[in-house]
Amino acid sequence: MTVFLSDFLWGAASSAHQVEGNNINSDVWVQEHIKGTFHPIPSGDAVDHYHRYREDIAMMAELGLKTYRFSIEWARIEPEYGHFSLAELAHYRDVLEVCHHFGITPMVTMHHFSSPRWLMRFGGWLGEETPKLFAQYCQTVFEYMGELIPYVSTMNEVNLPLLLSRFGALREETEIPEWKKEAAALCGAKPEQFVPFLTGYKAEHIGIMMEAHRLGRQAIKKIRPDTQIGLTLALPDFQAIAGGEELAETLWQEHLFQFADHIREDDYIGLQNYGREICGPEGIIPWDKRKEPEQPEAEMYPEGVAGVIRKAAKLGIPIIITENGYITTDDELRVEFIQRVVKGIKACVQDGIDVRGYIVWSLFDSYEWHVGYTSEMGLVAVDRKTQQRTPKGSARILGKIAKNNG
């Protein structure tokens, strides 16, 4: 007898920019084609999911997966301020209809890092008008296809700019770099207006994002009150050794509990875990300082999922693991990883925690923002010369788990 709900969400995830290809009206596309940004190469055609979604969703169903988390691309829906493309709305409506046809539950992310170029003219993710503009986009999408969307996440990893800043990947700029001046010009914006979701952090970002989430949720619920709404957080399992307890609690507060008041009206919280961070008396102890010589470059720690579930359970709202995965060329390790994650989730459910889904990142070996196409995180390999899809053993084991509901 399974401990999981009969409608538990077993599935895989993608994001529009990373898999569709040729997202030319977005701010990320602009950055990819300028020297000096953190993007090593352009995304280009990606894995051409924009044209191949029917066969891809059919493949998911054949494997036994039950849920597909994907994003709708704002830059396609509203390629210029105030102009909503009926053709693109029809495209995404068809993606949703194909999901339902094959018995796949769709979970839509309204914003997964990439924004329309024109949003930079309004100040990007520091612009006072951005929350209202985001809500208008959400309203338009749900007026057109809301009855097909049972689950929605307003924004992906709203705490990620803060997390990257905390770990030194983003820093406050003392002067505007040349690449940003060029990118702003290509967007018709002033350099100080060019504030994409990921490439800068200030304390005000969280306030703008939370207002966008609130107004987006309000617009969606007015049209589809039964749609389950949440947002997602990037959440390592913050652990402590002696002397690191205070830092660990600070990190939990920054990246989880500070959002408590903003998500009280949400239907679920999406948790996205890729391992753990160990806090010591002198700060975070990086993996390369802890690992043995024969161990891999990235720590394999599937138990991090159960760790973040148990911490987030204190919020008192349902939990969905909306992303979790492991970078490896050895798919047998990924199979073991998934099995250990599911074991940990099962223990949480048995302890009475309300967990409603496990969604693996990612469906494909696809474009990753800072490493291009060198990351192999997918359940499905893709030959990018031919776009041939080849499901891996990990895809089949997740499908088997889904069919057996755990």
Look at residue 127 and give its three-state secondary structure. Answer: coil
Identify whether the C-beta of residue 109 lies closer than 8 Å to the C-beta of residue 153.
yes
Q: Is residue 21 part of a domain?
A: yes
CATH of the domain at 363: 3.20.20.80
User: pTM above 0.85?
Assistant: yes
pLDDT value at position 153?
A: 98
Count of structural domains, the chain: 1
pLDDT value at position 166?
A: 83
Distance from C-alpha of 50 to C-alpha of 23, rounded to nearest angstrom: 10
Identify whether the C-beta of residue 256 lies closer than 8 Å to the C-beta of residue 302.
no
Identify whether the C-beta of residue 399 lies closer than 8 Å to the C-beta of residue 63.
yes
pLDDT value at position 215?
A: 98
Q: Tens of pLDDT along 6-53?
A: 999 999 999 999 999 999 999 999 999 999 999 999 999 999 999 999
Backbone angles phi, psi at 13, to 5 degrees: -130, 160
* CB neighbours of residue 83 within 10 Å: 9
pLDDT value at position 294?
A: 80
Q: Is residue 4 part of a domain?
A: no
Per-residue pLDDT tens, the chain, 406 aa: give them: 789 999 999 999 999 999 999 999 999 999 999 999 999 999 999 999 999 999 999 999 999 999 999 999 999 999 999 999 999 999 999 999 999 999 999 999 999 999 999 999 999 999 999 999 999 999 999 999 999 999 999 999 999 988 988 877 777 677 899 999 999 999 999 999 999 998 766 778 899 999 999 999 999 999 999 999 999 999 999 999 999 999 999 999 999 999 999 999 999 999 999 999 999 999 999 888 898 888 887 899 999 999 999 999 999 999 999 999 999 999 999 999 999 999 999 999 999 999 999 999 999 999 999 999 998 999 999 999 999 999 999 999 999 999 999 9
Q: Is residue 2 part of a domain?
A: no
Is residue 233 within a helix (H) or strand (E), and if so which, with residue range?
strand 232-234
Structure tokens at 76: 């396609």
| Distance from chain centroid for Cα 200 | 18
Q: Is residue 1 part of a domain?
A: no
Q: Is residue 3 part of a domain?
A: no
Distance from C-alpha of 377 to C-alpha of 368, rounded to nearest angstrom: 9
- Give yes or no: 157 in active site: yes
| Distance from chain centroid for Cα 71 | 9
Q: Is residue 271 part of a domain?
A: yes
Distance from C-alpha of 127 to C-alpha of 190, rounded to nearest angstrom: 12
- Outline where 102-151 has alpha helix (H): 130-145
Q: Is residue 61 part of a domain?
A: yes
Q: Is residue 292 part of a domain?
A: yes
pLDDT value at position 199?
A: 76
Domain range for 296 is 9-403
Q: Which of 20, 32, 157, 368 is catalytic?
A: 157
Q: Return the amino acid letter for 372.
A: G
